[in-house]
Amino acid sequence: MALDELKSAVPDYAKDLKLNLGSVIGNSDLPAQQLWGTVLACAIASRSPRVLRELAPEAEANLSPEAFKAAKSAAAIMSMNNVFYRTRHLLSDDEYGTMRAGLRMNVIGNPGVDKVDFELWSFAVSAINGCGMCLDSHEQVLRKAGVDRDVIQESFKIASVIQAVAVTLDAEAALA
Protein backbone atom coordinates (compact mmCIF):
# COMPACT_ATOMS: atom_id res chain seq x y z
CA MET A 1 0.00 0.00 0.00
CA ALA A 2 1.53 3.30 -1.11
CA LEU A 3 0.07 5.21 1.82
CA ASP A 4 1.99 2.97 4.21
CA GLU A 5 5.18 3.51 2.22
CA LEU A 6 4.66 7.25 2.34
CA LYS A 7 4.04 7.17 6.10
CA SER A 8 7.14 5.06 6.67
CA ALA A 9 9.22 7.60 4.75
CA VAL A 10 8.28 10.41 7.15
CA PRO A 11 11.23 10.96 9.54
CA ASP A 12 10.87 10.49 13.28
CA TYR A 13 11.09 14.21 13.98
CA ALA A 14 7.83 14.60 12.04
CA LYS A 15 5.97 11.72 13.71
CA ASP A 16 2.87 13.91 14.08
CA LEU A 17 2.68 14.20 10.31
CA LYS A 18 2.88 10.43 9.93
CA LEU A 19 0.03 9.99 12.41
CA ASN A 20 -2.00 12.77 10.84
CA LEU A 21 -1.53 11.34 7.35
CA GLY A 22 -2.94 8.02 8.48
CA SER A 23 -5.77 9.75 10.28
CA VAL A 24 -6.94 12.19 7.60
CA ILE A 25 -6.89 9.53 4.90
CA GLY A 26 -7.50 6.30 6.80
CA ASN A 27 -10.14 7.59 9.24
CA SER A 28 -11.93 10.14 7.10
CA ASP A 29 -15.71 10.32 7.14
CA LEU A 30 -15.73 11.71 3.61
CA PRO A 31 -17.25 9.53 0.89
CA ALA A 32 -14.55 7.77 -1.15
CA GLN A 33 -14.86 10.07 -4.17
CA GLN A 34 -14.57 13.24 -2.08
CA LEU A 35 -11.69 11.80 -0.05
CA TRP A 36 -9.57 10.43 -2.88
CA GLY A 37 -10.30 13.36 -5.20
CA THR A 38 -9.11 15.69 -2.45
CA VAL A 39 -6.04 13.54 -1.85
CA LEU A 40 -5.14 13.49 -5.55
CA ALA A 41 -5.75 17.20 -6.14
CA CYS A 42 -3.69 18.06 -3.05
CA ALA A 43 -0.87 15.69 -4.00
CA ILE A 44 -0.65 17.47 -7.36
CA ALA A 45 -0.84 20.90 -5.73
CA SER A 46 1.93 19.95 -3.28
CA ARG A 47 4.33 19.87 -6.24
CA SER A 48 6.11 16.88 -4.69
CA PRO A 49 6.87 14.13 -7.20
CA ARG A 50 7.30 11.62 -4.36
CA VAL A 51 3.97 12.40 -2.72
CA LEU A 52 2.17 12.33 -6.05
CA ARG A 53 3.89 9.11 -7.11
CA GLU A 54 2.85 7.40 -3.86
CA LEU A 55 -0.73 8.66 -3.61
CA ALA A 56 -1.89 8.78 -7.25
CA PRO A 57 -2.18 4.99 -7.77
CA GLU A 58 -4.30 4.61 -4.65
CA ALA A 59 -6.46 7.56 -5.72
CA GLU A 60 -6.84 6.03 -9.16
CA ALA A 61 -7.91 2.72 -7.62
CA ASN A 62 -10.56 4.47 -5.52
CA LEU A 63 -11.93 6.86 -8.17
CA SER A 64 -13.81 6.40 -11.39
CA PRO A 65 -11.85 7.47 -14.47
CA GLU A 66 -14.08 10.57 -14.66
CA ALA A 67 -13.41 11.51 -11.04
CA PHE A 68 -9.66 10.89 -11.42
CA LYS A 69 -9.61 13.24 -14.43
CA ALA A 70 -11.78 15.82 -12.64
CA ALA A 71 -9.50 15.88 -9.57
CA LYS A 72 -6.52 16.49 -11.85
CA SER A 73 -8.55 19.20 -13.60
CA ALA A 74 -9.30 20.86 -10.26
CA ALA A 75 -5.59 20.98 -9.43
CA ALA A 76 -4.77 22.33 -12.89
CA ILE A 77 -7.40 25.07 -13.09
CA MET A 78 -6.83 26.18 -9.51
CA SER A 79 -3.08 26.47 -10.05
CA MET A 80 -3.95 29.15 -12.61
CA ASN A 81 -6.87 30.74 -10.75
CA ASN A 82 -5.06 30.90 -7.42
CA VAL A 83 -2.21 32.91 -8.93
CA PHE A 84 -4.55 35.16 -10.90
CA TYR A 85 -7.06 35.94 -8.13
CA ARG A 86 -4.48 36.11 -5.35
CA THR A 87 -2.50 38.64 -7.40
CA ARG A 88 -5.62 40.64 -8.21
CA HIS A 89 -6.47 40.72 -4.51
CA LEU A 90 -2.96 41.70 -3.40
CA LEU A 91 -2.61 44.61 -5.81
CA SER A 92 -3.48 47.94 -4.23
CA ASP A 93 -5.08 49.17 -7.46
CA ASP A 94 -8.74 48.07 -7.13
CA GLU A 95 -9.27 48.69 -10.83
CA TYR A 96 -7.92 45.20 -11.58
CA GLY A 97 -10.91 43.76 -9.73
CA THR A 98 -13.27 45.33 -12.27
CA MET A 99 -11.45 43.99 -15.30
CA ARG A 100 -12.58 40.88 -17.16
CA ALA A 101 -10.31 37.91 -16.36
CA GLY A 102 -10.31 36.67 -19.95
CA LEU A 103 -9.13 33.19 -18.87
CA ARG A 104 -10.86 29.97 -19.85
CA MET A 105 -12.31 28.13 -16.86
CA ASN A 106 -14.94 25.96 -18.54
CA VAL A 107 -14.09 22.91 -16.42
CA ILE A 108 -15.49 24.65 -13.34
CA GLY A 109 -18.93 24.78 -14.93
CA ASN A 110 -18.78 21.26 -16.34
CA PRO A 111 -16.27 19.18 -14.36
CA GLY A 112 -17.64 15.75 -15.28
CA VAL A 113 -18.42 14.88 -11.63
CA ASP A 114 -20.73 16.17 -8.94
CA LYS A 115 -20.23 19.94 -8.66
CA VAL A 116 -19.87 19.73 -4.85
CA ASP A 117 -16.98 17.29 -5.16
CA PHE A 118 -15.19 19.48 -7.69
CA GLU A 119 -15.73 22.56 -5.50
CA LEU A 120 -14.33 20.70 -2.49
CA TRP A 121 -11.22 19.71 -4.45
CA SER A 122 -10.82 23.27 -5.74
CA PHE A 123 -11.16 24.57 -2.20
CA ALA A 124 -8.46 22.20 -0.89
CA VAL A 125 -6.04 23.16 -3.68
CA SER A 126 -6.71 26.83 -2.91
CA ALA A 127 -5.77 26.16 0.71
CA ILE A 128 -2.39 24.83 -0.39
CA ASN A 129 -1.87 27.70 -2.81
CA GLY A 130 -2.98 30.31 -0.28
CA CYS A 131 -5.59 32.19 -2.29
CA GLY A 132 -8.03 33.85 0.07
CA MET A 133 -10.36 34.99 -2.69
CA CYS A 134 -10.67 31.46 -4.06
CA LEU A 135 -11.07 29.98 -0.59
CA ASP A 136 -13.93 32.37 0.16
CA SER A 137 -15.56 31.79 -3.20
CA HIS A 138 -15.46 27.99 -3.07
CA GLU A 139 -16.45 27.90 0.61
CA GLN A 140 -19.53 30.01 -0.16
CA VAL A 141 -20.53 27.72 -3.04
CA LEU A 142 -20.09 24.66 -0.82
CA ARG A 143 -22.06 26.17 2.07
CA LYS A 144 -24.83 27.27 -0.31
CA ALA A 145 -25.00 23.66 -1.57
CA GLY A 146 -25.57 22.51 2.02
CA VAL A 147 -22.07 21.20 2.76
CA ASP A 148 -21.33 21.23 6.50
CA ARG A 149 -18.35 23.07 7.89
CA ASP A 150 -17.00 19.72 9.18
CA VAL A 151 -16.71 18.45 5.60
CA ILE A 152 -15.05 21.65 4.43
CA GLN A 153 -12.61 21.54 7.33
CA GLU A 154 -11.86 17.90 6.53
CA SER A 155 -10.73 18.97 3.05
CA PHE A 156 -8.30 21.57 4.36
CA LYS A 157 -7.03 19.17 7.01
CA ILE A 158 -6.14 16.80 4.18
CA ALA A 159 -4.53 19.67 2.26
CA SER A 160 -2.53 20.75 5.32
CA VAL A 161 -1.18 17.29 6.05
CA ILE A 162 -0.34 16.40 2.46
CA GLN A 163 1.46 19.73 2.01
CA ALA A 164 3.41 19.26 5.25
CA VAL A 165 4.41 15.71 4.29
CA ALA A 166 5.51 16.96 0.87
CA VAL A 167 7.64 19.74 2.34
CA THR A 168 9.21 17.38 4.87
CA LEU A 169 10.03 14.61 2.41
CA ASP A 170 11.37 17.03 -0.19
CA ALA A 171 13.56 18.67 2.45
CA GLU A 172 14.88 15.28 3.53
CA ALA A 173 15.67 14.40 -0.09
CA ALA A 174 17.51 17.69 -0.57
CA LEU A 175 19.53 17.17 2.59
CA ALA A 176 20.50 13.58 1.76
| The one catalytic residue among 59, 133, 134, 147 | 134
Does 42 participate in catalysis according to the annotation?
A: no
| The one catalytic residue among 17, 131, 147, 165 | 131
- Nearest-angstrom CA–CA distance, 35 and 117: 9
* Catalytic (active-site) positions: 131, 134
